Every structure is written in structure tokens, then in C-alpha cells.
Chain A
Amino acid sequence: MLARTASAIALSALMTAPAVAQEVWVSNERDNTISIIDVPTLEVIETIEVGARPRGLMFSHDYKVAYLCASDDSTIQVIDTATREILHNLPSGENPETFALHPDNRHIYISNEDDNITSVLDVVDRRIVAQIPVGVEPEGKAINHAGTIAITTSETTNMAHWIDTTTHEIFQNSLVGSRPRHAEFTTDDKRLVVSAEIGGGLHVFDTETFEELAEIRFEIPDVHPHDIQPVGFRLTDDMTRAYVALGPANRVAVVDMQTYEVLDYHLVGRRVWHMTMSDDETMLFTTNGVSGDVTVIDLTRQEPVKTIKVGRFPWGAAYRPADS
């Protein structure tokens, strides 16, 4: 697959270098654009015009397309990864904010935040196949690796809803701290992690018993506790670390996922929101909403190495590996 901008010289380099370098795509909520960052140079190489109020952003499992929640247009846009062209819009239900892609690469679970609904979209047939009533202001979405459980967090109901992906019914509700924002399963599917923005903690659940194993709390000298607001986070594949965006505390916390201790805090841009990680887990990219930039953290050295200016209110971020 060739990048559209590849020059003749670059073409000759194809023999040795990857055809397509790694990229990070960033949705800019108040600019209606996506910024594309070239990872080798850490520069923005392209800005794509998209629909209104772009938020949730992810690639298909084969990286052929990107999916984008254009919230105020009430649609999910499908963008060709190679050509950057918007291929078509998918039905999403009203005001989609975030979503998760099933391992089958075909079903997307969507949070319709104004309607207290989780919609299930079939991207092949291009239609909504199920709508599941959930709590008030559904937000965080996660699907386990086995593809059997989908999670929706409801921000005002303060719950994680456990949805059976076969029956599309809620089979369990777990109360968490105030305003749950994001959820992820560990690689082995044995633990579910949920962040609570106003509650200020990260909740860890056993996926067999639904018992809460831990609530991880954060404490930063000279930062008031009510400014510590966990939003997006990422778990490493080996399940040893979690990186947690702490919102207006302007920090990313590094958490040991065996002991649940907080190991360190990295200073990033203002109102850090979501993040994505490189596939080799050596780099972390955070979206900083208020400062309008992306902080790059070198995870080998465990330090922030660069700030990249993007559009207004960067929200979501997704990583695309080389040669994908």
C-alpha cells in the first residue's frame, strides 16, 4: 500500500524502508478535523476534514479503514486509511461519542450519550442490529478479547453495564465512582478496568465473580484532589502497567497492575483526555484537550519527549502500525 504523497525517491526507498510508516491519527473535537502524525518524525503530515464534532476514533482490526464518531452529525464515518478519503457514513443512532469494535471486525458497539442507549452496528450490512437501553449518559465502551462481553459505562448512573454480545442483554451491573469514562479488559480477559472521572479512581473488577479487586487512587503534591480526574487509559499487553490520563491534573499516571500501586506521574499538556500506544509499546501519545496538542511519552525511558501541536480540542487517538 502506497502513501498518496510518496515521491519517486521515496518509491525507490521502498526496497528497504517500510512502505507506510507508523502513524497516529487524532480527532480534533472543535475543528472537525483529524490530524495525522508521522511517528518516525513526530510531525503532523496531514489534516483531514471530517464531520461535526469528531470524538471516538479507531482503526478496523486490519487497519484498512478508520472509524470516527462524528457526534453532531449523528454518524460514524468510514475513512480509507491509505487514501484518507471518507468512504461512507454509517448509521450510529443519535450523538455517538465512543465505541468499540468486536473481534469479528464487523460489529461496533456505540454509546449514544443523549439517549441512554448502546447501539450495535453491523458495518457490512451498514445497519443498526440492536439497541440496548443503558444508564444515563453512556460513555466508555469495551469488548473482551473473546468477544463475549461488551461493557458500557454510564456517566450519570455511575455503573458499568455488562452486556452479553449474543443476546444483547445486560446480565450484570457494577457500581463504580462518579462519572465513569472509560473501560478496558486485560489481555487475558480476567480483569475489567473502569475509570471514574469525578470519583477520581480506577476500579478493577474480576470478570468471573464481578467482585471489585481494587480501587486505585491517585495523589499528586500541589494538585488539588478534585483536579485529579481519570479519563482515558491504556493497559499494556503483558498486563503489568496501566497508563492513566488524569484530566485537569495534566498528568499521566503509571500504575503497576499487579500491586495496583502508582509508580510515577508524567507531566503532559492541559486537560489530558485519551491516549494511544505504539504496537511495540515503546511510545504513548496523549490528547491534551485544552492545550490543543499531543504529548509523546517515551515508555522505554519513561519520560515525555515531545509536544505536537494539533487541532482544537484533540479528543481521540489511534495508532496505525507500519506497513498496515
Chain B
Amino acid sequence: MAEPVDVPIAYLELQVERPPVLTNLDPIPKDLGRMGAALGLADNATTGGFMGHEYSLAETVVPAGGDWLDAARAVLAESRILVVNAPAEAILALADLPEAQGALIFNASAEDEALREADCRANLLHTMPSYAMRADALMQFLVSRRWTDLVMITGQRDPDRAFAQALRDSATKFGARIRAEKEWDMSSDMRRNIGQEFPLFTQDFPSHHVMLAADETNDFAPYLEFHAWEPRPVAGSAGARPDAWSDRVEAYGAAQLQLRFKRLADRPMGAVDYAAWAAVRSVGEAVTRTGTADPADLRDYILGDEFELAAFKGAAITYRDWNGQMRQPIPIATRTALVAMAPMPGFLHQVSTLDTMGRDRPETECTAFD
């Protein structure tokens, strides 16, 4: 048996005020992310039992408006390996703390491009895919179906705008056309009158194959299908949605992961759960292979050529050594079924087909990993 190793991991979450949405049917679970980390710990602990590696997970949840950086300092004093579920600004402020230098921090929640590009940090890896990766996954699917004439409806919140911009960039990248866009600015309760309002709202759209919705809080997008002037499928934030994870994934052994998660959390696994699980499992895989819990050594191994993690999406997961982003297939799914697992066949790349999604090495603005 190998040398005993203690691996203390911290899960750190900053709760956010969620804006009101039209329906309360789909509340965001209070333990989203935390349960994913907990499952990752259980998986690691089983393996660790055979290796003499002892994993632990300390959970810290900071309420909205609480002192985030104070809590972060306290956590960093106890653990040098952090899995973080927080907005981009909070993650960046955490990564820039003097106490965080030399720590290994996983972003399991923020999709913002800047955090991986101009604002990238050497101590910060990302298991959550970026908006660009999600948009590219969807666009590859649409282009592979030759559904290249698109229209888009965008919400007014920042995440909506960020995802919309990613979809625009992605359309350009893969040769699709967003022929018209509208901003969703109606404040009425669409459950009652969408049947009257929405046909009119969409009547002057040019002909298109698919209607894109950039509505990351799921405010209005779920109501679009069946109410537009033209009967076209909806994709983006609702309809066929690209995400880090979907509870509709069952191939590649995923049925087992879904079942393990459901047993633990009593609900389906969400994208942030998956990203937190992948972060904890990445640490576990690196500890298993290297026999150390030193964050610098683990970071080197995770970013190196030998690292690979089986992560239930059909291809081994690795990390981009130029900005710390986890490479991963991205499922595109409706609420009832998996539509496709991107990258789509035919989208080729000289290094990894997973790098056809998101910003590639030649385009990166990140210099912290040089």
C-alpha cells in the first residue's frame, strides 16, 4: 500500500439573490453544487480506502451579502484545494487574495469568458464550461443538421447578454446566420397571454430554421415553443439546451452516476453539481496517480499530458494548459431527451476535437499559464 496522504478539500459557495421568474415550478435546488462535490468526495473516498488516501470535504456557504473574502480567508487557512460555486467577480476576488496564491481553486459555476481569458489566474481552473463552449456545442449541432438560418430572442439580464454574444460569435465561427434578433422586454405574465402576444411579437421575423433563446434564468424561454408565428424548434436556454450536464444523459455509464447522485441528493444532477463533482474527482484522480496532496504538484499533473478523467460523457476529460479550462463533451438536451453530445462528427481539430468548442489556444488572451 502507498504512503498515507490526507487530502482536505473545501467547498465554498456564495449564495446569490435570484431574480424572480415567471414560474415557480422549477426552483433552483438550495444544495446545487454542494451535492455534486459531496458525491465526488464519496467516489474519491472509496478509491482512497484502497490507497491509504484520506479525503475530507469542508463546506462553507456564505449568504448573499455576507463577507465573502473574510470567509474565503478562513477557508484558505484550512485547505489549499477549493471548489467554488460563486459568480465570476467573487471567484476572481478570491483568486487574487494573497492567501490564495499557491492554492488550487476550481471554478464550478461561472461561465464568463473573461475569467478564462483576460482575467485568467494561474491558481484558477474551470470545470464549468464557458458560454462560448456551450454556444459552440449547440451551433455545431445546428450546422450539422443544416439548420443555419436562425433568429434570436434575448433577455435583458447580464447572463442572457453574455450567452447571446457567445451564440453570435459561434454562428460566425461555424457559418450559421442569425437573421434577426429581438430583446424580450415584456413584463406581463406570459403564462396567461403568451398565446396572444407571442405570435405578434415573432410575426415579422424572417424565415428561419430554429429560434434561439438567450434567457439564462429560464424566465420566458420555456414558453416560446408552440407560440411563435412560425412553428420552429427552440434552442439555447430552453428547448434544446447545451449544458455541462443534463439528467437525460445515460450512455457512457452515466446512468450509474445519475443513480448515485439521486440516491445522495434525492433530485436530478444539475450542471453545477456536475462541475463540482468533476473538480473533486479531478483532485482524486491526481492524488491517486501522484500520491501527493501538494496543490502545486496536483496542478502540474492535472494540466499535464498524463491526466485523464472518465467523466461519463464519452470522452476522457483533460484540461487546457493555456487557461485551465476543463475540456469536455457537452450534452444538448431537451427536458425529456438527449438531442446530441457535442462535439459533432466532422468537426475536426489537430489536437483534440473537444477544442472545437470554446476559445482555442491560438486565440487565447490568457497569459497567466505561460
Chain B interface residue count, CB cutoff 8 Å, equals 21
The reply to whether B316 and A199 contact each other, CB–CB distance below 8 Å, is: yes
Residues of B within 8 A of A (CB): 43, 46-47, 50-51, 253, 256, 259-260, 285, 288-289, 308-310, 314-316, 352-354
The reply to whether A226 and B310 contact each other, CB–CB distance below 8 Å, is: no
The reply to whether A135 and B50 contact each other, CB–CB distance below 8 Å, is: yes
The answer for the CA separation of A198 and B91 in the assembled complex, in Å, is 32
The reply to whether B256 and A178 contact each other, CB–CB distance below 8 Å, is: no
Instruction: Give chain A residues whose Cβ lies under 8 Å from the Cβ of B259.
Output: 114
Question: Does any Cβ of B come within 8 Å of A116's Cβ?
Answer: yes
Instruction: Give chain B residues whose Cβ lies under 8 Å from the Cβ of A173.
Output: 50-51
Chain A, 139-159, CB within 8 A of any chain B CB = 154-159
Annotate A89-114 by CB proximity to B: 1 below 8 A, 0 otherwise: 00000000000000000000000011
The answer for the CA separation of A318 and B304 in the assembled complex, in Å, is 41
Question: Does any Cβ of B come within 8 Å of A23's Cβ?
Answer: no
Given the known interface contacts A114-B260, A199-B316, the answer about A136 and B50 at a Cβ–Cβ threshold of 8 Å is no
The answer for the CA separation of A197 and B256 in the assembled complex, in Å, is 16
The reply to whether B47 and A135 contact each other, CB–CB distance below 8 Å, is: yes
Given the known interface contacts A114-B256, A198-B316, A226-B353, the answer about A136 and B46 at a Cβ–Cβ threshold of 8 Å is yes
The answer for the CA separation of A137 and B253 in the assembled complex, in Å, is 9
Pair count A-B, CB < 8 A: 62
Residues of A within 8 A of B (CB): 113-114, 116, 135-137, 154-159, 161, 170, 173, 175, 177-179, 197-200, 224, 226, 248
The reply to whether A156 and B310 contact each other, CB–CB distance below 8 Å, is: yes
Nearest-neighbour CB distance to chain B for A24, whole angstroms, equals 25
Instruction: Give chain B residues whose Cβ lies under 8 Å from the Cβ of A198.
Output: 308, 310, 315-316
The reply to whether A157 and B50 contact each other, CB–CB distance below 8 Å, is: yes
The reply to whether A226 and B316 contact each other, CB–CB distance below 8 Å, is: yes
The answer for the CA separation of A243 and B354 in the assembled complex, in Å, is 29
The reply to whether B309 and A135 contact each other, CB–CB distance below 8 Å, is: no
Given the known interface contacts A156-B43, A199-B316, A226-B353, the answer about A179 and B253 at a Cβ–Cβ threshold of 8 Å is yes
The answer for the CA separation of A226 and B259 in the assembled complex, in Å, is 25
The answer for the CA separation of A224 and B352 in the assembled complex, in Å, is 8
The reply to whether B308 and A116 contact each other, CB–CB distance below 8 Å, is: no
The answer for the CA separation of A156 and B285 in the assembled complex, in Å, is 10
Instruction: Give chain A residues whose Cβ lies under 8 Å from the Cβ of B289.
Output: 175
B interface: dominant SS: helix
The answer for the CA separation of A157 and B53 in the assembled complex, in Å, is 13
A-B contact pairs, 17 of them (CB 8 A): A114-B256, A114-B259, A135-B46, A135-B50, A136-B43, A137-B256, A154-B47, A156-B46, A158-B47, A159-B50, A178-B316, A198-B308, A198-B310, A226-B314, A226-B315, A226-B316, A226-B354
The answer for the CA separation of A71 and B341 in the assembled complex, in Å, is 26
Instruction: Give chain B residues whose Cβ lies under 8 Å from the Cβ of A135.
Output: 46-47, 50
Instruction: Give chain A residues whose Cβ lies under 8 Å from the Cβ of B260.
Output: 114
Instruction: Give chain B residues whose Cβ lies under 8 Å from the Cβ of A178.
Output: 308-310, 316
Instruction: From A155, A158, A161, A200, give the contact of B253 (CB < 8 A).
Output: A155
Chain B residue, CB-CB nearest to A227: B315
The reply to whether A155 and B310 contact each other, CB–CB distance below 8 Å, is: yes
The reply to whether A157 and B47 contact each other, CB–CB distance below 8 Å, is: yes
Nearest-neighbour CB distance to chain A for B70, whole angstroms, equals 36
Instruction: Give chain B residues whose Cβ lies under 8 Å from the Cβ of A154.
Output: 46-47
Nearest-neighbour CB distance to chain A for B252, whole angstroms, equals 9
The answer for the CA separation of A157 and B289 in the assembled complex, in Å, is 11
Instruction: Give chain A residues whose Cβ lies under 8 Å from the Cβ of B51.
Output: 173
The reply to whether A179 and B256 contact each other, CB–CB distance below 8 Å, is: no
The CB with the most chain B CB atoms within 10 A, among A154, A175, A200, is that of A175
Nearest-neighbour CB distance to chain A for B243, whole angstroms, equals 20
Given the known interface contacts A226-B316, A226-B352, the answer about A199 and B46 at a Cβ–Cβ threshold of 8 Å is no
The answer for the CA separation of A173 and B47 in the assembled complex, in Å, is 10
Excluding A137-B253, A178-B308, 16 further A-B contacts by CB distance (< 8 Å) are A113-B256, A114-B256, A114-B259, A137-B256, A155-B256, A156-B47, A157-B50, A159-B50, A161-B50, A173-B50, A173-B51, A179-B310, A198-B316, A226-B315, A226-B352, A248-B314
Given the known interface contacts A178-B308, A198-B310, A226-B315, the answer about A157 and B253 at a Cβ–Cβ threshold of 8 Å is no
Given the known interface contacts A155-B310, A156-B310, the answer about A224 and B47 at a Cβ–Cβ threshold of 8 Å is no
The answer for the CA separation of A226 and B311 in the assembled complex, in Å, is 13
Nearest-neighbour CB distance to chain B for A135, whole angstroms, equals 6
